[in-house]
Amino acid sequence: MGKVTGFKEFERQDETYTSVIDRVKNYQEFTVPLSEKEITKQGSRCMDCGIPFCHSSCPLGNLIPDFNHMVHQGEWQKASWILHSTNNFPEFTGRLCPAPCEQACVLGLIEDPVSIENIEKNIVERAFKEGWIKPQLPKNRTTKTIAVIGSGPAGLAAAQQLNRAGHTVTVFERDDEVGGLLRYGIPNFKMEKGIIDRRIVVLKAEGIIFKTNINVGVNYDVKDLKEFDSIVLCGGSTEKRSLPTLGIDADGVVQAMDFLTQQTKVLFGKEVKNQIMATGKDVIVIGGGDTGSDCIGTSNRHGAKSVVNFEIMPKPPGHRSPTTPWPFWPLQLKTSSSHKEGADRNWLINTKEFVKDEQGKLIALKTVNVEWKMVPGQRPELVEITGTEKTWPCDLALLALGFTGPESTLADKLGLKTDARSNYKAEYGKYQTNVPNIFTAGDMRRGQSLIVWAISEGREAARQVDIFLMGKSELPSKDIAGDLVAM
Amino acid sequence: MPASVPFTDGDYIGALLDRNGLRPSRYTITKSGKLIMSSEIGVVDIAPEDVKKHGRLEPGKMFLVDMNQGRIIEDEEIKSKIVSERPYQEWLNNTRLHLKDVPYTSETCPIESIDIKTRQRLFNYTFEDIQEVITPMAQDAKEALGSMGTDTPLAVLSDRPQLISNYFKQLFAQVTNPPLDGIREEIVTDISLNLGKDRNIFSITDRQCRKLRIQNPVISNADLEKIRSIDIESFKAETIQILYSKAQGLNGLEDALDSIIVQVEKALAAKTNIIILSDRGVSQELAPIPALLACSFVNHQLNRLRKRSYFDIIIESAEPREPHHFATLFGYGASAVNPYMVNEIIRMQVKEGFIKDMDEQKAVDNFNKAIGKGILKVMNKIGISTLHSYRGSQIFEIVGFNSQFVEKYFPYTASRIEGIGLYEIEKEIDQRYKQAYPNNQIDKNLSLNIGGDYRWRRNGERHLFNPTTISKLQQAVRLSDQDSYDVYAKAINDQAENLMTIRGLFEFDNLDPIPLEEVEDWTEIVKRFKTGAMSYGSISREAHENLAIAMNRIGGKSNSGEGGEDRKRFQKDINGDSRNSAIKQVASGRFGVTSHYLTNAREIQIKMAQGAKPGEGGQLPGYKVLPWIAAARNSTPFVGLISPPPHHDIYSIEDLAQLIFDLKNANREARINVKLVSEVGVGTIAAGVAKAKADVVLISGYDGGTGASPLTSLKHAGLPWELGLAEAQQTLVLNNLRSRIVVECDGQLKTGRDVAIAALLGAEEFGFATAPLVASGCIMMRKCHLNTCPVGIATQDKELRKNFKGTPEHVINFFFYVAEELRLIMAQLGFRTLEEMVGQTHKINSNKAIKHYKAKGLDLSSILYRPAAYREMPVRNTEQQEHNLENVLDFTILKDSHRALYRKEKMNLCYPIKNTNRTVGAIISNEISKIYGHLGLPEDTLNINFTGSAGQSFGAFSAHGLTFILEGNTNDYLGKGLSGAKLIVKKPTKADFIAEDNIIVGNVCLFGAVEGQAYINGIAGERFAVRNSGAIAVVEGVGDHCCEYMTGGKVIVLGKTGRNFAAGMSGGIAYIYDPENKFINGLCNTETIEFEDISNEDAADLKAIIEKHVLYTDSKKGESLLVDWTTSLQKFVKIMPTEYKKALLRLETEEPMFEELTLA
């Protein structure tokens, strides 16, 4: 390609962050972009593999070697075309995707992988800056109308694709602003909300109708959906997991998502009564995932006295574990920018009790260390290690334990089948529920997952809806046979 | 074609040799008035004193005896008589029209009404076509390279629309005639063509010369416009559109084809003699007829109407973009092609800066040049040297057209498995239309298909090796994880819905299950497995040795490839492992092929062709020939190495038999294996190979191949192994030859199921290359030719080689899984041993319901056909070949030379010799190599005097310590693979002819000589010292192509030379005595060499060698030169290859480079 030996000459360069001291003072993004020259150099590290595993492991099927090549050539607009041909919202994934592509990058076998995600972000930012991202109106309008329920990445992607096929699309959102988890669930310092707004402007100009504050099945009768030819459910996986432990009802035990949402709402001047604050408190975040990490970052911005993080699983190895070989997603320790802002991380620890004072206020957590007993052929068993009980002073415990599945309201009211994990049932690749004109995509169908999967499912579901309505579709498809078959 | 044609009419008797001198023809004139001509010398005993002259027929020359006059008429006399009869040159000068002399017109090329993006989609262009195929050719004027074979579906199994050229597979020469080296032997090639009406060949007038001459038949838009509007006496061009009404579909297409014929006839009636078939002017209503279809139809239909000689065809088409497309057009009758769409694309690429540092015109010229070279290569593969003879020759096999369709549009082309017809072709065009005119405007910016032929992409062409299969296979072998292997094998085997290969269309039938325990153990099965021939040099030492260790551990066989092997590997390691490759390959370059190398083989493989690029040679560029690679190949570091397209000692099946015999002599324990590539007729060749006494014949698929190869060859040359294997099996059985030979098969074998199908079709051994490499860590970068393999396999870069993570266990695991999968199938089918399975085609069913619209017309019954002979004749190998070695003279010598061989005592022996004594010296050398290794015995330990005419391959592979003195003469291949011996051939003392005027040794002497000396007291035939890499030779005259591809050693010619001296010579030194400056003025090919002054040191060396020559042979010529040495010296020319000179300097001045093995 551009440079055959680029990977041997240049090292990976990532964007850097402003200093911790500076960035915890506010809720703005704190990345420091690389120079254009440096990005083109990074593009030249791409080896143009005979088999680009990145492209296969990307749920969207992003044409990674192809846009890398264009970036290396300085052809930013062409890069943007290529990028947008598979990804409706690279500005979201360019910031928030855990980048399975980079884990599957062939260069990653021998050194640091190509900085694909950062290149992606630079392409889309450049495209917005240059004004290349313009509304693409459909040439012809069909007579078909479609309701998309949920305005997260899956819903937005489905809406945009269906609109491009000429259908009239209405998106329903129960919150006051569109974006789903992207809007309030993701802290502003991870993605500034203007990023969503600028894309919504384009979507509206393309003719998509957005209706906020409408909770279908609650303040909007599902019967009224009859006016639509087809319905796409993209309501996400929003049932929060709890911790059935003594003292869970203590004042000061809070769901992480509530904590994060409030903070972002406040930031944008929305009214929030009794905002949960971490200021001056001993904060314990239970759950070692991305939400946990966001809580750590937000707590530090609040000015917590201390921030401790618990994870029940063992500490992952610093390098890719042999049980999760390349090109698959690795079991590997991740240290996020929020972790670097200060947190005491603990693994193999289980909360036994939330200790409260007489007023019911949380004052401490009792924990015990655990280990996992592995018996081949059986589910691993959690075993407590006696004598490791410990009490941690704590006045704010944030539960970042993930989601158990979608809410059942719509399924109940629309008569939809769900699977064993309470997800809405529709075959991967088909997205059609047991009610023929109702489709579902994203977390609502697959359970909690990545933004990139949400966009992918939204796009693919849109194509299936189009085929359902029109008998055929010219909307693009990623060819799911190309998905890297997981472990 | 190699040919020596003798003829007589009673008055005259004569013979004529092909223009490249590929056949030997020797004659002797005696004083007693006899003339004896034969392909060999020594067929009739003649007393030396009776000999008047020993001569040979020279390339392209005629030898004629006028019986009435009683004299020999020299070639020059015959030809000058003929050429002076009429003023031919004048005729040519005055009457022939050159394209460059046709004035440019004001006509500009037609403007297309629809935008280029739409037209590109309509003509099936992909991103890859533009980026990987067209742009590199326009940039570098060379065809782009690729690696790792092809694992995409055949055109007839692909669900993306295909240009019809893709259904055609190029045929190539193997064994029956040699492919040609159009680069090094450019003097015999030509791609220029003459256009216009043909005339009565019996009327000899200047009108015969009235033709339009085109130097490169790939013409630019401007050139086409010149021809289109030509207004010159005797020329008239007419453009005929090859478009049809899209709305009328198939009928429209058929009508349009018929109407084209009518239009052509009408044009001919109006004295038109150049027909331009043009697909310009396409639109949503008018669709293009495939140019190849139109071209072939016009060609054949007008032939049927007996009007074909009235005109020539020019194709103006948007379709052709890669050399293969052009080759098919020429092959079916076109005389020039204007690829106007490519021109448009190139202009765009220049404008947008993707083609750098040149203007549009230059870029288009480059592309046309690259195509010209590509076509030359395609022609050369089959041994055709001029486009004039290639035009209309139809040297293709079709895979996937039904016979009715072929008969009408492509008559006389082989198409063996039926397939699609005009209806499906129209459907494919329709598919392209759907892409070109989508209903909605979606992704207008990305209007082209991604392609995905050369690199995997989602939505691109499907590949057997894709992210899932590669990662699952690697996971399986690394973690010993059966489940992962199962996912891998299922993905490869499960082609029910994803048709990819012919074997994918088969189902097992006549099941007769037995318990799995009764099936032979996997450890027995893997003994039949082999890894592919990949040279040390093309892949890293780590990867190469890893495969060898793995195969030796399980009793299978690894293959050295054509790059020789480090001698250290012949001994076992301390831990008991062996890095010695069981199979030693003998390829056309003969790198590192010595007696010692051959002695250490369990099997010796003669590579006639390779799947990735059958009929082509190869090249290892100088920067890759690192000192340790050079050592294994007996060559000079940093000097590029060329593998010629042909073996220069195999121009016929008899020659192959000779080489088999030579190699069998060089190692009596080793099996001799001949590697062929599948194509129509491979069965006949296999039968020939069996008769030529090979122990094993390998039928390779076209799709395999790990090495670098031009993209066109990767995809379009050769056939799938299923076809070749079935043909070979059937032919061998029918001729009762199957019992004598083992049949092996390779080419994208990946799973136990693949092996099962191959066994049922008739193979008993199996080769794997890509899959074991993937097991060792290959991730199909397809960058083998760039030295940047990131996993340390196909690279010599020290840093990258550290990344090699493969272990022998990984490879063994792979073969274990394959064997176990095979065992399951065997149990299901009811076979206890693999041997029982061989050739049992009734266990395969091809009637599987194929729903795919293109594949449903296929008829695979010919692959599964069981000749009646199956009932009487053995269908698998049951006996050994009879090699008839017992009569070899070497056994007598062995008996007599005991003291020399085993006690290193100096001995002198004498024997008479005849031309039936073939390959003298190889067996003794084999014994020497066994005991003493490569260095053999001290010089002159065993001295043998022979008298008479020696047979072919005298002194072949002869080792250090042997000195052969032959008083008499020899046939071809003297000192082939010379491995250290000293060979002296001198004129018999009793003979009184002048040595330097008489031929004494045959063609292709010292081919692949590695070390040793040769002193030849007379003239040698063509191709003396071809690919010599270390021998020192003195000869008193040589034929054409002397020192071709030479990489080392010294050659001193004291007399005349033929043409094309030093073609492709990259190393070694030659000295030519050139008193009349004939050599320096035209006989030498100066492409890779320079003439250098002779230093004092050189002069002393030269003198010493000539003194030896005189001492050994009593050479009168040598003596005369030494009399006045100072004067003689001034008339010597020194030939120094440029690259060699630089390499020597580098070796002298730079720090020596050492090999560090990164393998733990």
> Over 90: is that where the pLDDT of B1023 sits?
yes
CA distance B531 to B772: 7
Lookup: tokens for A168: 């009239």
Give the E-state strand segments of B587-633 in sequence order. Answer: 603-607, 618-620
Structure tokens at B1106: 């000539």
Provide mean pLDDT across the span A18-35: 95
What DSSP assignment string belongs to B1002-1037?
Answer: -SSTTTT--EEEEEESSB--SSTTTT-EEEEEEESB
CB contact under 8 A, A52 and B450: no
Strand partners, B484: none
Q: How far is CA B979 from the centre of its chain?
A: 26
- Dihedral (C-alpha) B831, B834, B840, B842: value to the nearest 10 degrees? 40
Cα–Cα distance, B178 to B1 (Å, whole number): 8
For chain B, how big is the Rg over CA atoms in Å?
A: 31
Pairing of strands B765-768, B529-533: parallel
Is B779's CB within 8 Å of A328's CB? Answer: no
Spatial separation of the C-alpha atoms in residues A392 and A359, rounded to whole Å: 19
In angstroms, the CA B612 to CA B818 distance is 24
The pLDDT value given to residue B1156: 58
Residue ranges in B410-452 assigned as alpha helix (H): 422-436
Nearest residue to A119 (alpha-carbon basis) of A51, A19, A46: A46
pLDDT of residue B1155: 66
Q: What is the pLDDT of residue B1153?
A: 76
Predicted pLDDT at B1090: 95
* Mean of per-residue pLDDT scores for chain B: 93
Distance CA B436, CA B430 (A): 10
**pLDDT tens by residue, A105-135:** 999 999 999 999 999 999 999 999 999 999 9
**Interface contact B791, partner A, CB < 8 A:** yes
Tell me how far apart the terminal alpha carbons of chain B are, to the nearest angstrom: 51
Spatial separation of the C-alpha atoms in residues B961 and B964, rounded to whole Å: 10
Amino acid letter for position A206: E
Helix, strand or coil, per DSSP, at residue B733: helix
Q: Per the omega criterion (within 30 degrees of 0), is the bond before A327 cis?
A: yes
Confidence of residue B1160 (pLDDT cuts 50, 70, 90): very low
Nearest to A52 among B456, B475, B788 (CB): B456
Give the mean model confidence (pLDDT) for residues B636-643.
Answer: 89
Strand, helix or coil for residue B1097: helix
Cβ pair B788:A106 closer than 8 A: no
Residue entry with tokens 């017109």: B105
Across the range B492-521, mean pLDDT stands at: 89
B782 CB neighbours in chain A (<8 A) are 49-50
| Phi/psi-derived region of residue A61, left when phi > 0, alpha when psi is between -120 and 50, beta in every other case | left
Q: Is B826 helix (H, G, I), strand (E, B) or coil?
A: helix
pLDDT grade for B538, boundaries at 50, 70 and 90: confident
Q: B627 or B583: which carries more pLDDT confidence?
A: B583
How many whole angstroms from its chain centre is CA B292? 26
- Across residues B214-218, what is the average pLDDT? 94
CA dihedral B832, B834, B836, B837 (to 10 degrees): 110
Strand partners, B227: none
> Is residue A413 pLDDT above 50, yes or no?
yes
| Residue B558: closest CA among B579, B583, B525 | B583
Residues B463, A140: C-beta atoms closer than 8 Å: no
Kindly state the average pLDDT of the residues B1094-1121: 97
Best of B440, B461, B785, B810 to disrupt the A interface by mutation (most A CBs within 10 Å)?
Answer: B440
Please name the residues between 123 and 162 in chain A that touch chain B, using a CB distance below 8 Å.
Answer: 138-140
CB pairs under 8 A between A and B: 137
Does pLDDT of B1091 surpass 80? yes
Read off the pTM: 0.94
* Contacts with B, A 317-356, CB within 8 Å: 322-323, 325-328
Which of chain B's residues have a Cβ under 8 Å away from the Cβ of A52? Answer: 455-457
Contact A485 B487 (CB under 8 A): yes
> Which residues in B lie closer than 8 A to residue A164 (C-beta atoms)?
440, 442
| Confidence band, pLDDT 50/70/90 cuts, at residue B14 | very high
Cβ distance of A49 and B455 shorter than 8 Å: yes
Q: Does B480 touch chain A (CB under 8 A)?
A: no
How far is Cα B288 from Cα B75, in angstroms, rounded to an integer?
A: 53
CB B912 within 8 A of CB B944: no
Give residue-wise pLDDT tens across range A48-75. 999 999 999 999 999 999 999 999 999 9
State the pLDDT at residue A377: 82
Contact check, Cβ <8 Å, A106/B457: no
Label the pairing between strands B35-38 and B26-30.
antiparallel
Phi, psi of A169 (to 5 degrees): -115, 135
Contacting B residues, span 82-141, partner chain A, CB-CB under 8 Å: 127
Summarize the confidence of residues B82-96 as an average pLDDT. Answer: 92
A483: which chain B residues are within 8 Å (Cβ-Cβ)? 468
Q: How far is CA B34 from the centre of its chain?
A: 42
A106 touches chain B (CB under 8 A): yes
* B486 vs B19, residue with greater confidence: B486
Over the stretch B544-590, which tens digit does the pLDDT of each residue have?
A: 999 999 999 999 999 999 889 999 999 999 999 999 999 999 999 99
Q: How far apart are CA A156 and CA A327, in angstroms?
A: 30
With an 8 Å Cβ cutoff, are B354 and A328 in contact?
no
Q: Three-class SS of residue B563?
A: helix
pLDDT tier, B1159 (very low <50, low <70, confident <90, very high otherwise): very low
CA atoms B534, B539, B541, B545: torsion sign: negative
> A294-308, B600-614, B697-711: which has the minimum mean pLDDT?
B697-711
Per mean pLDDT, which range of A78-92, B968-982, B1141-1155 is the poorest? B1141-1155
Radius of gyration of chain A from Cα atoms?
23
Express each pLDDT in B833-890 by its tens digit.
Answer: 999 999 999 999 887 767 778 888 899 999 999 888 888 889 999 999 999 999 999 9
B804 close contact with A: CB closer than 8 A: no
Q: What are phi and psi of B336, to 5 degrees?
A: -160, 150
B467–A327 CB contact, under 8 Å: yes
Judge: B442–A165 Cβ closer than 8 Å, yes or no: yes
B466–chain A Cβ distance below 8 A for any pair: yes
From residue A88, give the alpha-carbon distance in Å to each of A93, A135, A136, B1075.
10, 12, 12, 79
**pLDDT for the residue B451:** 86
Pairing of the two strands A306-311 and A344-347: parallel
The DSSP symbol for B126 reads B
pLDDT at A487: 57
**What ipTM did this prediction achieve?**
0.93
Which residues 558-617 of B have a C-beta within 8 angstroms of A? none
The 3-state DSSP class for residue A440 equals strand
**E-strand stretches of A82-237:** 145-149, 168-172, 209-211, 230-233
pLDDT of residue B1158: 46
Mean per-residue pLDDT, B727-739: 96
Cβ <8 Å between A482 and B459: yes
Torsional sign, CA B337, B340, B341, B347? positive
Please identify among residues 446-465 of chain B the ones whose CB lies closer than 8 Å to any CB of chain A.
Answer: 446, 450, 454-459, 462-463, 465
List the single residue in A61, A81, A110 with the smallest CB-CB distance to B445: A81
Distance CA B8, CA A481 (A): 69
- Average pLDDT of chain A, as a whole number: 95
Please report residues of B whose CB lies closer than 8 A to that of A133: none
Contact assignment for A48 to B463 by CB distance below 8 Å: no
* Percentage of chain A exceeding pLDDT 70: 99
- pLDDT given for residue A270 in this prediction: 95
Question: pLDDT band at residue B622, thresholds of 50, 70 and 90?
Answer: confident
Tokens of A433: 């529920």
H or E segment at B967?
Answer: strand B962-970
Confidence of residue B450 (pLDDT cuts 50, 70, 90): confident
Q: How far is it, in rounded angstroms, from Cα B489 to Cα A353? A: 51
CA torsion A213-A219-A224-A229 (nearest 10°) is 40
Cβ–Cβ < 8 Å for A79, A40: no
Restricting to A residues 461-480, those with a Cβ less than 8 Å away from any Cβ of B are 474-479
CB contact under 8 A, A73 and B779: no
